[in-house]
Amino acid sequence: MSTTLAPAELHARPADRTLVVDVRAPGEYASGHVPGAVNVPADLLDALLPDLRAAAERQDLVMVCAAGRRSAAACAKLAEAGVESTGLAGGTQAWAADGLPVDTGARPDREVWAMDRQVRFTAGSLVLLGLALGRRAPKGRLLAAGIASGLVYSGLSNTCGMAAMLGRLPFNRPAAGALDEARAALRG
């Protein structure tokens, strides 16, 4: 059965008995993560399930995301496969809000935006585009209405189709060899 830990509880755990797995997209992970966390994007959990199972036999697995929703889904997926894990309540947002250390591992070639910032930028840009198009062609406002409808649905369902689409962009995808790096880290 999956449970959650408060950030202070995770911080107090011995590092040699706890493996933190961050299930966010690589771009989000690079924008700030729990120190020592291994990045295993949620869509790669199935591919790394044998390695996660083996890691869970050696250490406690703590699944982390930005706010806790994706890590809860990852814990549920692992539980279905018979792998015990725990989530971090409030995710890296709660971790940072508690003043705990955050490893940015920032890429020197560019600033990395968290997924929620990417969604806000994209949604806002598309709404503005729809309104601007609507000045010449009234049907252009349908773009703004469609984005607004998607945001309302996202709020009601606690899902985000735009984040899922943005997660497929090259800068949000794992780099070549990232799967092998994650597998090696899980094998520890």
pLDDT tens figures, 132-153: 999 999 999 999 999 999 999 9
Q: pTM of the prediction?
A: 0.74
- CATH, domain range 3-111+173-187: 3.40.250.10
Percent of the chain whose predicted confidence (pLDDT) is above 90: 58
Burial class (CB in 10 A: 0-12, 13-18, 19+), 43: middle
**From the centroid of its chain, how far is CA 113?**
12
Domain residue ranges of the chain, discontinuous segments joined by +:
3-111+173-187, 115-166
**Is it the case that residue 2 has pLDDT exceeding 70?**
no
| Contact present, 67 and 91 (Cβ < 8 Å) | yes
